[in-house]
Structures are given as C-alpha cells and as structure tokens.
Amino acid sequence: MTAHAPARGHLRVESGPGAACVGVGVAAVLALLFALQQWAVGGFSPVMLVREPARIAAGAWITLVHITVVAYLAGATAYGAGSADRAVERLRPVLAVPLPRHARRDWRSYALSLAAAGLAGVAIAAALAIAISPGSVSYDPATWSSVTAWHRVLGLVIGGGVLCLGTLLLRDSLRLSRLGKSAVRVDLLDLARLAPFARQGLTNVLLLAGFVTVQGLFLVDVGYLATFAAVFVPTVVIALAALVLPMWGVRGRIRRERQSELARVRALAQAARSGWEDAPRSQAALPPLSDLLAWEARMEAVREWPIDASGWLRLALYLLIPLGSWSGGALVERVIDAALG
C-alpha cells in the first residue's frame, strides 16, 4: 500500500499500516508455530502442567517475549524503511529541483551494510548470551529442549534485527543530513517547512524506544537484567545519534543564514546610527533604526534546530514509553506468582 502515487520524480514510500501488518503477521505465525510444536511434543499436556507449572509458564513467557521482540523489529524495520522517503516527500516544496541523487536510497549500498550489521548482531547476541544470560547457554542443538530452541534461535534473530534497524535509521539520517546541508531552501521566517527533519529524528527515537519497551518485558525474570543493560546502553546511543543526525545538516544551513542576516542588519543599523559617509546607502534611504533593531531581535530569536516546543514534548513522552513496559512487566510477574503460588 503506498502513501503517494508514484508520479514522475516522486519517491515510492510504504505506509504505516503496511508495516504494522508485517509485525502482526510475524507475531501470529511464530506464535502459531510455537503452539503447534508444543502440542506435538506434549509440552502443554495436562500432566506437565500439573507437574511443572512454574517451569512451563516461565519458558512459555520468555518464548512469547522473544516472539514479540522479533515481530516488533520486523514491523519497525518495515516502517523505518519508508519513513525517510516520506520525509523527503514532505520536504519537496523546499528542495532543489530536480531532486539530488542522494535524495533516493541506494539499496545496493544499503544491502551490504545491512547484511554486515545483521551478521555482527548475530555474533554479538551469541557472545552476550553465553557470557551473561541467566543459566548455562549452549549453541549445540543437541542440548536444546523444545522451548530453549526458540530462545536460542530467536535471540540471534533479535541481535541481528536490532543492528539492522539501527543501521537503517542511521544511514537514512545521514542521507537527510546531506539533503539539509546542500539541497534545502531556508526561509528564516518559516522554519515550520523544515519540520520533517525533526519529525524524522523523533520517529527514529520512537522506533528505538519501542524496541527498548518490548525488550524490557524480559525483566519479568530479573536474571535478564545484565542482558537488558547490555542492549539498552548502545540502543540509547544509537537513538541519540538518530535524533540529531537528520537535523544536523539543515541546522548548519539555518545557522549560516541566520549569521549572515544578522551581520547584514547590524551593518545597516551601524550605518543608520552613525551616518558614515561610506555607508552602503545614504542615510535617508536606510530603514529606521528602530525597524533594524527589531529585525535584529527577530533574527536573534530564530532557533537553529528545526524542532519546536511540541517536538521536545513529544520526545519526552517517547522516552517515558519504556517505563510503562517495565511497570507492566512487574505487574505480569506478580500475576504469574499469584497464579502459581
């Protein structure tokens, strides 16, 4: 499903609902496969539920969390793949025509970096699982149970998936930064037209905050605290970079335009005040000094970052999302303890 008709010169971008369907579809398929597998091996049989309810509930919960994280990463990556192109489409009124070459994603280059990120993520996930995951972790399939097999495989998928998502967002952020630096017309009196740069940075933060949120569901078992921390810290660093980078290039343009305008108006104000004979214009032709000073104050008030107060508020709300997940995880833990106690 497309958000814009693929007219000549326009980018083809995917809509948000399509990305949501990807995540829901992945979750449904994996959950169904898990349920069918456990039914086939008798993992959820009445005898097992009576004999080892705590172990079965814990194993099923951790598996479902793995599935949720994988599904979220699938949906977030699908959404992220189109979000930067949607930003470019919204910026078309202020972009150079024709669009510069780097306005479009070079999928050949992206594929190489995403493949490298995926492989690195798998290796890092395996190393972290062996080093700090609760209990003993082996990647010898002969040692896996029907449940731990899901944990081991999906854990590797999560490692590769989150690095792919981060790499995609960072590369698209750099692409927007280049556009903002070289191909945008800046009007200091109408910075609202540059809002898509800030919106893209906020979208990046939201996607990564969502990952931290679903990853936080593992904290129902406090044994996963070290693993969560090892994932949380680099994710925060990537989120910070993905917030700033889309706005970085255009921020430099705004700064240069603002400084140039301030230098010009201050030169005129100095000429109007002093009446120098070598003033760029005659004293009579210069605007009134009060108007020049008002314009100088207006230029000094221009913000260099294309993000307004509502954007900062939105960012604060996004950062609060993981807290809800952790609170929900604690509630689930109490419910499970009460049910099995």
pLDDT tens digits along 189-241: 999 999 999 999 999 999 999 999 898 888 777 777 888 888 888 999 999 99
CA–CA separation, 219 vs 233, rounded Å?
15
Q: Is residue 62 part of a domain?
A: yes
CA–CA separation, 177 vs 244, rounded Å?
9
Q: Closest by alpha carbon to 106, among 171, 41, 38? A: 171
Q: Taking a C-beta distance cutoff of 8 angstroms, is the pair 26, 74 a contact?
A: yes
pLDDT on residue 10: 44
pLDDT on residue 15: 52
Q: Closest by alpha carbon to 85, among 202, 160, 2, 182? A: 2
* 12 confidence band (pLDDT: 50, 70, 90): very low
| Percentage of residues of the chain with pLDDT beyond 70 | 82
Q: Is residue 303 part of a domain?
A: no
Q: Tell me whether the omega of the peptide bond preceding residue 287 falls within 30 degrees of 0, making it cis.
A: no
Q: Is residue 153 part of a domain?
A: yes
Q: Is residue 125 part of a domain?
A: yes
Residue with the bigger pLDDT between 100 and 242: it is 242
* 26 confidence band (pLDDT: 50, 70, 90): very high
pLDDT on residue 6: 40
Q: Which helix (H) or strand (E) holds 182?
A: helix 148-182
Segment 314-329, tens digit of pLDDT? 998 888 887 666 555 5
DSSP state of 141: G
CA–CA separation, 113 vs 168, rounded Å?
9
Q: Closest by alpha carbon to 151, among 231, 63, 223, 225? A: 63
Instruction: Give the structural domain span for 44.
Output: 16-250+316-340
Q: Is residue 262 part of a domain?
A: no
Three-class DSSP category at 275: coil
Number of domains in the chain: 1
